[in-house]
Structure 1
Amino acid sequence: MFRLEWTRTWLAVILGVALGWEAAAGSDVSGSRPNILLMLADDLGIGDVGCYGNRTIRTPNIDQLATDGVRLTQHLAAASMCTPSRAAFLTGRYPVRSGMVSSSGYRVLQWAAVSGGLPTNETTFAKILQEQGYATGLIGKWHLGLNCERAEDHCHHPLLHGFDHFFGMPLSMMGDCAPGGLSEKSARLQRRLESAAHVAALVALTLAAGAATHLLPRGAWAPAAGATLVAALLAAASHFLGALIVHADCFLMRGHDITQQPMRLALTMPLMLQDAVAFLRRHKEGPFLLVMSFLHVHTPLVTTGKFLGRSRHGLYGDNVEEMDWMVGQILDTLDAEGLTRSTLVYFASDHGGALEARMGSEQHGGWNGIYRGSKGMGGWEGGIRVPGIVRWPGVLPAGRVVHEPTSLMDVFPTVVELAGGQVPQDRVIDGRTLLPLLLGTASHSDHEFLLHYCESSLHAARWHQRQTGALWKVHYATPALRADSDACYGRLVCPCSGDGVLRHDPPLLFDLSRDPSEAHALTPDTEPLFHQVTERVARAVERHRRSLRPVPLQLDAWGNTWRPWLQPCCGRFPFCACDREGGGQ
């Protein structure tokens, strides 16, 4: 009798759990106000992660996140570069709508001391959740601007865009932050300064020779001396440029205060992990929003000693494995504080891996799996298709895989809906809530079309033809690549326009459902639906263009040129140096 009752009891429990799970999976969770932890890697390739097919880099914590949650296989960045992609992530809007693009070759914000940045009239999901009573924090990379007119007006600062707490890097990790690292900025500028110094020196010699031989009046000695001084200053600037960049751009802030300038790179990861754990513990009563914006795995691939040499892929693989360990430490903190079941966790990358990041023969960028192209390459899949994982135990079905098109822009309406807020009605929001796909209550994505910009130029568009299941991709422009590799000629990052770009008329057409690697372009001869598809996509593009409104382009030269009066400085400019982080202990 006892055994029978025990069996009945457990059957009831199991049935109750099953029914409860089914109800949770199909129920409306809008306004349920979970804690929200969003983790965004920097330059991570979709092929670098185990649950997306990698078998040689160890990512057990990210893989377990996918096992326990929902994995998105067609998750897309709104741009293949940092600044515009992150602007779209925070606002739910194509970056061209907010002006977080350029028409002049500037792909990202170039310096900390520029006036461009995320406009104050843009609404981030952090701002809406802050209004809904969430404690909001951003730790790590920002790269969306700081100041407008003076060095401390903080008009683009994270604290003005809805975050209560900020600790991190206002610009971006760059190869230039580490002496002898892969230069993204100083090498090019040094060449320009050296050329200008040579010109000034030639002018000085010409004037001095003319004055000495009486071919020019004796008054030519004064401009000759001036040209000599200019040449000397330019040569000195070229020599010290690397150190100047490290101080100008590679620093840490807490709130509005600079606390380490320049950064002590070996301590940066421990400091940020320490701050993330402290934030979670401080706000464990909830609700909270934490955006953990990793500096990993962007060059210069700063990696602590215990991870060096552990992977089979050199420094890059070491850096990926360290980031995975950091993910594990943050998830362990949720467990330790009893927050796991009340927290929605999201993991993604801001765009694809950088195939062109190399130091000699060693690859310092990621792997994008079967997908063509990489970071900076307009609309090719390798630059925009990224990992996307969402976990919420007890609500989202574990192990679910979604093959529908989704976007980083979808995070905006998703978290706003969960927090009980309202998506703004005074502007176009391009993101669509992920909840029906995550819960399994919808079979198809709300994205019939998704557009792929390169700066302000539309390079490609995709059409998800739901009736047939076909996924069409149309390319209007692609970067001109070298014949011997997937790299652009003489560039670290491909251009969006000009001589380095191929224009396609008629456009290139691919069926990603049959050819996800974009290896075989279709033609009217090989695809009977060629004209029907390209015309359908063209109408959608035209409809999108009619929805755009003129806005100032924040990344153009006017807003993206270094200005000394905007330089954030810990101390008296130009002697900017301090360390208030206490050695990371």
Structure 2
Amino acid sequence: MKKLIYVTGLLALLGWGCNSQPNNTVYTNAGSTPPNVVLIMADDMGYNDLGCYGNATIKTPNIDRLAALGMRLTDYHTNGVVCSPTRAALLTGLYPQEAGVEGVVTAKSHRASGMSPSKFTLAEYLKESGHTTALFGKWHLGYQPEFGPNVQGFDQFKGFVSGNVDYFSHIDQEGFEDWWNNNQIQNEAGYLTDLISKNAIEFLEKKEDDKPFFLYLAHGAPHYPYQGPNDTADRTVGGSFPIQGSREDKKKAYKEMIESLDKNVGKVIDYLDKNKLTDNTLVIFCSDNGGTRNVGSNAPLSGHKGQVYEGGHRVPAIFYWKDKIQPGVSEELVLSMDLFPTIASLLDLEVPKDLSGKDLSVIFDQTKADKNIEERTVFWRFKNQGAARKGNWKLLKIDGEAKLYNLSTDIKETADVKEEFPDVFQELNRAYEEWEFGLKEETILT
């Protein structure tokens, strides 16, 4: 049974169904059909892995075009520094710890575990608002159907439930088949990145014309195994294989994988354009954590995936909605958990109460441009690491040692200034301790 805190929102949704047009909406000229949402998530993509974020080597014209036509965020952060926690936060609007998923839901150790179905998700919320919901790609919040996408609000699911699969054989890193059609294993031939966009377009072709949709495209790229579209399978069922793939030049494979991802993003956007869906569709692109140490680029940040330094959680993010979101660059602090309430608000739905994420639609909605964003303190925790951020101040705690950084002058987090600013240090340290103490933790997957 879902939490009572959502009753207000659901009543609002029921009321919406009685009107041909919602009130005070940013899409009043888009027609009577409520807006659609396309959420595209890359896997392990670093802050500097796209052309629009400064990469001069990897060619990403389609995503760069989204950034040019939409709002590019330069201070967007994942709630986790590895895959599962961010996905939990994005879907629930909560901190990963509150969602019960602080660490990776691994193929080896957590095959009977997952995020509790009692957690209310963005997919459930939009489904109850009248949207058809579909996930194509990576789930990574539970291996068994009782923890799967179909019990968390998705009408359709085609993809994999583990952290990574072979891009061709779709076998996970423990040697199990991992390509699902809803609740059944049902392999499908094709390169992983191509399959996700293929299934997305087939979904769009079959959708009901008068019904809005929420399409979540959770790509595997550029997570290992490092396999470009012209490579072949490495993994076999129960076999022995190199976890990261057999390609010797992994950086070149990584480049091919991102460029394939970009091509497939372009396919989906082109379909929306050609079928006159762009005007009524909010498109969001983001990554689930920072790039890896050896192949990803997080420049100019320090750190990488698995760390609470900026490089572990500051990632690319783009919001695009033709003629609704004005092109530009936002320097506002945004986290994965903010997407749930922000999407709800942009679609003119009642924002659920008691979410840890905040409605930041003011950044994207010109009708709310006169509203101020209240400064807040946000937190990260992973294993022996913790961090707190308020404004440009960031507290970093690793193995019990705490440091303070001023990100406005030290984005690389190299100069500890806690001695110069003891009051700021004590404030953030106290806030972090209070946040930890106040967490109502369930079974935390670490």
Query: Is 2:392 the partner of 1:391?
Result: no
The one of 110, 115, 122 equivalent to 1:118 is: 115
Alpha-carbon separation, structure 2, partners of 1:552 and 1:312: 36
Post-superposition shift, 1:397?
Answer: 0.6
Between the aligned residues of both structures, percent identity stands at: 32
Q: Secondary structure at the match of 2:157?
A: strand
Post-superposition shift, 1:450?
Answer: 1.2
Post-superposition shift, 1:176?
Answer: 11
Q: Secondary structure at the match of 1:46?
A: coil
- The 1:520–1:112 alpha-carbon spacing in structure 2 relative to 1, beyond 3 Å, is closer
Post-superposition shift, 1:442?
Answer: 5.3
Q: Which amino acid aligns with 2:222?
A: V
- Aligned 8 A contact 1:462 1:472 in 2: yes
Alpha-carbon separation, structure 2, partners of 1:372 and 1:113: 31
Post-superposition shift, 1:125?
Answer: 0.6
Superposed CA deviations along residues 239-286 of structure 1, whole A, max 9, x for unmatched, are: xxxxxx32x2x42111112111xx75x533333221111112222543
Corresponding residue of 2:364: 438
Corresponding residue of 2:162: 171
Question: Structure 2: where are the runs of 5+ without partners?
Answer: 1-23, 232-246
Alpha-carbon separation, structure 2, partners of 1:421 and 1:443: 18
Corresponding residue of 2:75: 74
The one of 266, 291, 300 equivalent to 1:353 is: 291
Listed as ranges, the matches of 1:125-524 within 5 Å are: 125-147=122-144, 154-174=145-165, 245-246=174-175, 248=176, 250-260=177-187, 266-283=190-207, 284-305=209-230, 313-356=251-294, 365-377=295-307, 379-398=308-327, 400-425=328-353, 428-439=354-365, 441=369, 445-455=373-383, 459-464=386-391, 471-477=392-398, 502-504=399-401, 507-524=402-419
Q: Which amino acid aligns with 2:319?
A: V
Q: Which amino acid aligns with 1:167?
A: K
Alpha-carbon separation, structure 2, partners of 1:446 and 1:51: 28
Q: Which amino acid aligns with 1:519?
A: T
Post-superposition shift, 1:314?
Answer: 0.9
C-alpha RMSD of the superposition: 2.8
- The 1:177–1:65 alpha-carbon spacing in structure 2 relative to 1, beyond 3 Å, is closer
Alpha-carbon separation, structure 1, partners of 2:98 and 2:158: 28
Q: Which amino acid aligns with 2:393?
A: W
Q: Which amino acid aligns with 1:172?
A: G
Which deviates more, 434-443 or 129-138? Answer: 434-443
Q: Secondary structure at the match of 2:41?
A: strand
Alpha-carbon separation, structure 2, partners of 1:315 and 1:50: 17
- Aligned 8 A contact 1:353 1:367 in 2: yes
Superposed CA deviations along residues 56-86 of structure 1, whole A, max 9, x for unmatched, are: 1111111100110001100000010001111
Post-superposition shift, 1:446?
Answer: 3.8
Q: Which amino acid aligns with 1:93?
A: L
- Aligned 8 A contact 1:344 1:392 in 2: yes
State which structure, 1 or 2, has the greater radius of gyration over its C-alpha atoms: 1
Alpha-carbon separation, structure 1, partners of 2:196 and 2:25: 35
Post-superposition shift, 1:458?
Answer: 5.5
Q: 1 or 2, which has the higher helix percentage?
A: 1
Post-superposition shift, 1:333?
Answer: 0.5
Post-superposition shift, 1:445?
Answer: 3.9
Corresponding residue of 1:65: 66
Superposed CA deviations along residues 545-582 of structure 1, whole A, max 9, x for unmatched, are: 354214122x25xxxxxxxxxxxxxxxxxxxxxxxxxx
Alpha-carbon separation, structure 1, partners of 2:158 and 2:306: 27
Corresponding residue of 1:109: 106
Alpha-carbon separation, structure 1, partners of 2:26 and 2:272: 21
Q: Which amino acid aligns with 1:117?
A: G
- Aligned 8 A contact 1:140 1:167 in 2: yes
Q: Secondary structure at the match of 1:386?
A: coil
Q: Secondary structure at the match of 1:537?
A: helix
Question: Structure 1: where are the runs of 5+ without partners?
Answer: 1-26, 148-153, 186-244, 357-364, 465-470, 478-501, 557-585
Alpha-carbon separation, structure 2, partners of 1:111 and 1:448: 38
Q: Which amino acid aligns with 2:90?
A: F
Q: Which amino acid aligns with 1:41?
A: A
Post-superposition shift, 1:508?
Answer: 0.7
Corresponding residue of 1:531: 422
- The 1:71–1:156 alpha-carbon spacing in structure 2 relative to 1, beyond 3 Å, is same
- Aligned 8 A contact 2:293 2:305 in 1: yes
Q: Which amino acid aligns with 1:161?
A: Q
Alpha-carbon separation, structure 2, partners of 1:423 and 1:258: 36
- Aligned 8 A contact 2:302 2:309 in 1: yes
Corresponding residue of 1:54: 55
Alpha-carbon separation, structure 2, partners of 1:416 and 1:112: 35
